[in-house]
Chain A
Amino acid sequence: DTAVSQTPKYLVTQMGNDKSIKCEQNLGHDTMYWYKQDSKKFLKIMFSYNNKELIINETVPNRFSPKSPDKAHLNLHINSLELGDSAVYFCASSRVAGGFTGELFFGEGSRLTVL
């Protein structure tokens, strides 16, 4: 059983469309994250949720909206997609938030290509 699973793995779409990436973890962790890895392979945190509550919201456009229906799921919805949104998006989870967290468990990544 995959600990942190993301779908879809690959997503190719046109500019202006709205798309979602789903993430689920079966580790019983309280905290989930979304990270973006750009074309230069640089990782950056986008959001962090702890028990369905937003705790980190980095400077990302309002077009990006995370949704956490329960603590095992954190979905990422992107409106009005732009070329610059093309990247690999990683979901991750950990036992608790912040510096007292245990190790991070990552999903396999979702490669988004905006044409």
Chain B
Amino acid sequence: KNEVEQSPQNLTAQEEEFITINCSYSVGISALHWLQQHPGGGIVSLFMLSSGKKKHGRLIATINIQEKHSSLHITASHPRDSAVYICAVWGTGNQFYFGTGTSLTVIP
């Protein structure tokens, strides 16, 4: 069983839809990252969280440390948001674990 589980694995949405991607983890963590991998392969860091909530533009990330759960929300989704979204955590023992990714396609 993977230390980091994401759901859904694949997601297709209509433009302007509100999107939620979930991440659950089973280890103690010191931080959680949300990453975006573009169709061309490049990886960009979206958020690093250790508590609470962060917002960048149309993206919002939340984390609940007690429940070991994080969500990434995209408001007013756009076709350019189509990408793979990856959750990753820093374990307290200095380990680093990745989720398997959520492939998002936003249709115009």
CB pair A102–B48 under 8 Å, yes or no, is: yes
**Shortest Cβ distance from residue A17 to the other chain B in the assembled complex, whole angstroms:** 24
A28 to B90, CA, bound (A): 21
Q: Which residues on B sit within 8 Å (CB–CB) of A45?
A: 95-96, 98
Q: Which residues on A sit within 8 Å (CB–CB) of B31?
A: 98-101
**Shortest Cβ distance from residue B91 to the other chain A in the assembled complex, whole angstroms:** 8
**Does B104 sit within 8 A of A, measured CB to CB?**
no
A92 to B35, CA, bound (A): 12
> Among the listed stretches A18-26, A66-74, A76-84, A104-112, which one makes contact with chain B, having 4 or more residues with CB under 8 Å of it?
A104-112
CB pair A108–B41 under 8 Å, yes or no, is: yes
Give how many A residues have a beta carbon under 8 Å from the other chain's beta carbons: 24
Q: Which of A23-46 contact B (CB under 8 A)?
A: 33, 41-45
A103 to B31, CA, bound (A): 10
| 9 pairs of residues in contact across A and B, judged by CB atoms under 8 Å | A45-B98, A99-B29, A99-B30, A102-B48, A103-B45, A103-B47, A104-B45, A106-B44, A108-B42
CB pair B41–A101 under 8 Å, yes or no, is: no
A97 to B92, CA, bound (A): 12
Which residue on B lies nearest to A45, using beta carbons? B96
**Does B50 sit within 8 A of A, measured CB to CB?**
yes
**Does B66 sit within 8 A of A, measured CB to CB?**
no
CB pair B96–A41 under 8 Å, yes or no, is: no
CB pair A103–B33 under 8 Å, yes or no, is: yes
**Shortest Cβ distance from residue B94 to the other chain A in the assembled complex, whole angstroms:** 6
A111 to B94, CA, bound (A): 27
Q: Select one of B33, B50, B98 contacting A42, CB under 8 A.
A: B98
Q: Which residues on A sit within 8 Å (CB–CB) of B41?
A: 88, 108-109
**Does A56 sit within 8 A of B, measured CB to CB?**
yes
**Shortest Cβ distance from residue B19 to the other chain A in the assembled complex, whole angstroms:** 20
Q: Taking A42-B98, A45-B96, A99-B29 as contacts, is the C-beta distance between A104 and B35 under 8 angstroms?
A: yes
